[in-house]
Amino acid sequence: MRFQTELVPARLIRRYKRFLADCTLEDGREVTAHCANPGSMMGLAEPGMRIWLEPNDDPKKKLKFGWRLVDHENGHFTGVDTALPNRAVRAALEAREIAMLASYETVKPEVKYGENSRIDFLLSQPGLPDAYVEVKSVTLCRTSGLVEFPDSVTARGAKHLGELAKMAQTGHRAVLLYLVQRTDCTHVAIADDIDPTYAAAHAAATVAGVETIAIGTHITPQDVTLAAPLVLGRPAR
């Protein structure tokens, strides 16, 4: 997926109130950007970091910039927009580019199910069980090559796992899809020290038949595209 407008580089001054970030553009101007990420952004919001912003001229938007990327200045990037994964995954599902789910032709986003929940995507195909697909954006890296989820306690995430488990137990496919929005990791694991409840819910969901898929991304200041599947589990020492 290409960004709608050309990104511009900046330096982060500070992130605050979860959705705001003060930044310095290369011409010295200080601007406030919208940060489309409600998570902790552990390791991704340090003052002085090189970041990329997307300008906009939409009169309905108060903020004229949106924070899209962290530039690690070593050839690698991390995407911080948590709305992007669903858009990218939807495009890939509709194009049948995700091999594990390519048998499904019909893709319906945001379908109600369970107890006051919505599944990100409901996939259907005659002759196949419906597939309920929940997408999570993953960005936390505390060990070289390893990305972890979650980066903060997520009761909502644990609830989603419980709902997926129920779908699996009733004969449907239930899929947890981790979209890794960083280019410097090859393995994906659960951050059980950050949220033991989520880790337990994931283990229980796996026993119930929930599938976990991790997919990497190619990220540049021009676009973000899905890459190859990543390895589930921590790398061998």
Q: What is the pLDDT of residues 151-188, one digit of tens each?
A: 999 999 999 999 999 999 999 999 999 999 999 999 99
- pLDDT at 58 (0 to 100): 86
d(CA 19, CA 5): 20
CA distances, 30 to each of 24, 71, 91, 174 (Å): 4, 19, 35, 45
- Give the whole-number percent of the chain exceeding pLDDT 90: 94
Judgement on whether residues 69 and 115 belong to the same structural domain of the protein? no
Q: Are residues 42 and 70 in the same domain?
A: yes
Q: Which two tokens stand for residue 178?
A: 């981790």
Tell whether 3 is covered by a domain. Answer: no
Segment 64-74 shows an average pLDDT of: 97
Q: Write the DSSP string, 11-68.
A: EEEEEETTTEEEEEETTS-EEEEEE---S--TTT--TT-EEEEEE---TT-S-SEEEE
The predicted pLDDT at position 116 comes to 84
DSSP characters for 186-226? EEEEE-TTT-HHHHHHHHHHHHHT-EEEEEEEEE-SSBEEE
CATH number where 33 lies = 2.40.50.580
Six-digit token string for 66:
């949106």
- The answer to whether residue 24 is domain-embedded is yes
Q: Which of 48, 79, 110 is the last residue of a domain?
A: 79
Question: Average pLDDT of 128-137?
Answer: 98
The C-alpha atoms of residue 120 and residue 65 are separated, in whole angstroms, by: 27
Average pLDDT of the segment spanning 52-70: 94
What is the span of the domain harbouring residue 37? 8-79
State the Cα–Cα distance between residues 72 and 78, nearest whole angstrom. 8
The average pLDDT across 183-199 equals: 98
Q: Do 110 and 89 have their domain in common?
A: yes
Tokens of 107: 């893709």
What pLDDT does 237 receive?
72
pTM for the model: 0.95
Q: Would you say residue 7 has pLDDT above 90? A: yes
What is the reported pLDDT for 51?
98
Residue 236 has a pLDDT of 81
